[in-house]
Amino acid sequence: LFAGPVEFLKGVVAMEGLPPDDRPEVCFAGRSNVGKSSLINALTGRKALARTSNTPGRTQEINFFTVGESRYLVDLPGYGFAEAPLPVVEKWQRLLRAYLAGRASLRRAFVLVDMRHGIKKVDEEIMGLLNKSAVTFQVILTKADKVSTADQEKTLAQVRTALAKHPAAYPEILVTSSEKGDGIATLRALIASIA
């Protein structure tokens, strides 16, 4: 799937702007700065396809990327703290939740969690929304390169416990580093298998 061309299709700021839901898509959700856009770049092997930044709140639209013939990868704005004016943040937060709860072609939502921090209250809230909306979701731990093996085990244990409460959660937890490439090939294969 990832051997073919990858292209930016469009950035969406309102539900009416979503492309037709005529093909399977997976999205990347998570707190601001968790590494959603970086992961899309690592997956596609394109350094600057999705814009990344140290400043939380970099991605402010729902960005659609086409991979292969007929698949979308969707980069979402982050939730939680963002360095942007409050009314703007509130607008994109509403859009994000409407998308997650109501997108017919969404096959799986990847919920990214910073391996250093584990699952926070706002992650729980989003997982509750996905669960209620019957959207299958899967946790991807990010920034593994910043965490010792012992601390990785601690976060994994916390996430396993949290996921046990959510029937819509896919039990396998992926450990990744966009920086070092850990878990990227596995995730590519997984996405290719989601039809």
Asked if residue 37 binds Mg ion (CB under 5 A), the reply is yes
State which H helix or E strand residue 110 sits in: strand 106-114
Of 6-35, binders to ligand GTP (CB under 6 A) are: 30, 32-35
Rank residues 53 and 161 by Cβ distance to ligand GTP and give the closer one. 53
53 binds ligand GTP (CB under 6 A): yes
- For residues 190 and 186, give the distance between their C-alpha atoms in angstroms, rounded to a whole number: 6
**Residue 132 CB, nearest approach to Mg ion (Å):** 25
Residue 155 interacts with ligand GTP (CB under 6 A)? no
- Distance from C-alpha of 58 to C-alpha of 136, rounded to nearest angstrom: 26
| Binding-site partner at residue 154 among ligand GTP, Mg ion, none, CB < 5 to 8 Å by type | none
- Measured N-to-C along each axis, helices 121-132 and 149-163 cross at an angle, to the nearest 10 degrees, of 40
Name 113's Cβ contacts closer than 8 Å, sequence gap at least 6. 30, 31, 34, 119, 123, 139, 140, 141, 142, 155, 159
Burial of 20 (0-12, 13-18, 19+ CB in 10 A): exposed
Q: Is 146 in the site for ligand GTP (CB under 6 A)?
A: yes
Q: Which is nearer to ligand GTP, 25 or 182 (CB)?
A: 182
159 to 188, contacts with ligand GTP by CB under 6 A?
Answer: 177-179
What is the C-alpha separation between 115 and 107, in angstroms, rounded? 24
CB nearer to ligand GTP: give 35 or 103.
Answer: 35
Report the amino acid identity of residue 153.
E
Q: Per CB under 6 A, does 44 bind ligand GTP?
A: no
* Residue 155 interacting partner from Mg ion, ligand GTP, none (CB closer than 5 to 8 Å by kind): none
Q: Which tokens sit at 191?
A: 């996405």
Interface ranges with ligand GTP (CB under 6 A): 30, 32-38, 52-54, 56-59, 77-78, 142-143, 145-146, 177-179
